[in-house]
Amino acid sequence: MLRSTAVTRSLRKQLALAGSRSITSHPNPNIVTGPDQNWYRFHNMWPVQVPLSTPLPGTPAASEGVAAAEPKTEITTLSNGVRVISEGSSSIGASMALYFASGSRVETDATMGSSHFLQHLAFKASKDKSHFKMTRDIEKIGGHAVAGASRDCIAYAGECLSSNADRLMALMAETALNPRLEDLDMDNARALVLNDVANSSKNGPGTVLDAMHTVAYSGRGLGAPLLCPSNVAHSMSGDTISTFLKDTVAPSRVIVSAVGVEHARLVDMASAAFGDMASSNPVAPADAKYTGGEFYLPGPMDMGEVHIGIGMEGLGCSHADLLALATIQTMLGGGDSFSAGGPGKGLKSRIFVNVLYNQGVLSSSALNVSYAETGLFGITATTTPDHTSVTVELLIKELKRLKTGVSEEELKRAVNMTRASLFLNLENNGIVCEDLGRQLMYYGKRHTGKELSDQLKKITAADLQRVSDKLLSSDPVVAAYGDISCMPSYSTIVSAMKA
Amino acid sequence: GGHAKRHSHSTMSALLRMAARWYQEGTAKELRKYGLLYQDILNEFHPDVQVALSRLSPEELSNRNKRLKRAADLSVKHSELSPEAQAKIDVWRKYLPLERAQEERLERASYKHIP
């Protein structure tokens, strides 16, 4: 009795604070009316419609904005061969990148792993500055700097205010050309390299991609390991790194790109940083030759997954059909199984519809990597071990389906999605900066987004057919990592693909 | 100090050099008796020495600890190293990366943030 009156008293107090007349004014007990409702009821008795399309009298007319001018790309080559490319932008921030067209493909047996080490030596101590000073200098200009080494280049990227761009570029050049390579610096980099190697066992898709490269390019050049092998890392010395830098970094391989920095200013910055680099003719990397093959790598005992990749020879960056290949990749699509299947999901790319409906497939997507003269194309998937053979069958079926052509609707959708992702990516200055540098590296000139989009619009089903036929004519490369006991053999896969 | 400035620079520094050499040879003789290097007996609680010790290779660290244990053993037995073994020791060998540790500490301590 006492408790119920206490409850009702507190309830009434709450309602009184809320200002409600009563909780029974509406037949639905979930709807509680408040004082605001009364205001609306009163003011809606004489409705006055003021459409938002007519301006209120007495307000100044808004001036229509002027469309931004199409940004201009400018390219300059310095006297020693360093190339500078920039795109104008009205943004207050600058994105800059420095590319050395070296990477793991130019490593020799003696310098194996140097690119990976250089990635971890970046923005640490240089010959003149300590790590502490380098970090504080970057912080002082509010900059953000990263470095990454891949198979065909080592990239140093940074962003800061456009007014501070020269200072950041000087720091980037300093760390790229003159990293400090004493024992302590090498030990610190070694710890990071070994950490990467240890973590790679947990990165299934990355391991599969590396395995596909290793077997497709016979372990050399593009097939050389991206991560420094741990036995090599333990004995890596500063001398090896400086030899690698001396042998592979030539002015003709240096590209400076930026968005949001005036071209003339960028050229000055590049001259200040690289102007006195002596030109040299580094040994060009051997052209990568693709071969089919298999690489099945057993994973840790408790992995519980199999990561699979089935690939074929793709197209190099300079190939005329590169955009058609990109359209095929979009058409195949793919992603995580969480987003797949079921009514209302609406994801229509082929891998979603034909591969990811299967319960055992955890994720699957199309793979398309291109280097200067060659590339890899295929489908990767992650699956539970007992669904391995079913998944491989589905992947093979999907790859063979490329031969049977594509409907107009599917082609149009794939082209539009590719164009959309192209433009969406070009909204990001960092990506534009990377695009500038890489296009200069591969083509020697830059194709704007609009040019690429126009070329995409011209793609026909016949183009896709031609590219698919070319893809499927090469021997497949099959890689698997994890619980590989249920993986079908390479010969089974090859005969299934040829059937 | 200030008083010595009135003498000729070369005389003072020659005297100092003689004194320093006498002191160094005496120290080296004592250290050699126990099989130690000079950098073995530096104050291990000094921040630079601590940082430098953390950067030693496992081999150097192990050798240092063995030298220290051997010296403690010799001291407790009121004994000293044999003359042949003493002759092999280079007391002034620098194996601790102290310069870099000191540079880093001083740079950090003296850093003035002026945005």
A478 has a pLDDT exceeding 80: yes
Is A184 close to B108, i.e. CB distance below 8 A? no
CA A133 → CA A45, A130, A185, B49, B112, distances in Å?
70, 5, 15, 22, 11
Asked whether this complex has an ipTM greater than 0.95, the answer is no
Q: Closest residue of B to A135, CA-based? A: B108
Chain B residues within 8 A of A184 when measuring between CB atoms: 55, 97, 100
Task: Return the pLDDT at B1.
Answer: 43
Around Cβ A251, how many Cβ atoms within 10 Å?
19
A462 has a pLDDT exceeding 80: yes
Q: B86 CA to chain A: closest CA distance, Å?
A: 30
Instruction: Please tell me the distance from the alpha carbon of residue A437 to that of residue A431, in angstroms, as a whole number.
Output: 10
pLDDT digits (tens, 9 = 90+) for A61-71: 778 888 777 88
pLDDT digits (tens, 9 = 90+) for A401-445: 999 989 999 999 999 999 999 999 999 999 999 999 999 999 999
pLDDT digits (tens, 9 = 90+) for A232-250: 999 999 999 999 999 999 9
pLDDT digits (tens, 9 = 90+) for A80-134: 999 999 999 888 999 999 999 999 999 999 999 999 999 999 999 999 999 999 9
* Identity of the residue in B97, B103, B113 whose CB atom sits nearest the CB atom of A130: B103
Q: Classify strands A477-482 and A375-383 as parallel, antiparallel or unpaired.
A: unpaired
Burial of A405-436, coded b for 16+ CB within 10 Å and e otherwise, reads ebeeebbebbbebbbeebeeebeebbebbbbb
Q: How many residue pairs bridge chain A and chain B with CB atoms within 8 Å of each other?
A: 19
Q: Closest residue of A to B51, CA-based? A: A184
Could you tell me which residues come within 8 angstroms of residue A223 by beta carbon, excluding any fewer than 6 positions away? A213, A214, A215, A216, A217, A288
Q: Chain B interface, mutation test: which of A139, A161, A184, most B Cβ atoms within 10 Å? A: A184
Q: A94 CA to chain B: closest CA distance, Å?
A: 20
Task: Return the pLDDT at A40.
Answer: 75
Is B107 close to A182, i.e. CB distance below 8 A? no
Instruction: Please tell me the distance from the alpha carbon of residue A119 to that of residue A117, in angstroms, as a whole number.
Output: 5
Three-state DSSP class for B26? helix
Name the band, by pLDDT with cuts 50, 70 and 90, for residue A36. confident
Name the band, by pLDDT with cuts 50, 70 and 90, for residue A24. very low
Residue ranges of alpha helices (H) inside A201-261 are 204-216, 230-235, 238-248
CA A478 → CA A215, A216, A376, A468, B5, distances in Å?
9, 9, 12, 18, 83
* Identity of the residue in A136, A182, A183 whose CB atom sits nearest the CB atom of B111: A136
**DSSP sequence for A245-280:** HHHH--GGGEEEEEESS-HHHHHHHHHHHHTTPPP-
Chain A residues within 8 A of B113 when measuring between CB atoms: 136, 140
Chain A residues within 8 A of B97 when measuring between CB atoms: 183-184
DSSP 8-state class, residue A110: T
* Identity of the residue in B55, B107, B115 whose CB atom sits nearest the CB atom of A184: B55
Chain A residues within 8 A of B105 when measuring between CB atoms: none
Comparing A9 with A136, the larger pLDDT belongs to A136
- State pTM to two decimals: 0.85
Instruction: Please tell me the distance from the alpha carbon of residue A59 to that of residue A461, in angstroms, as a whole number.
Output: 54
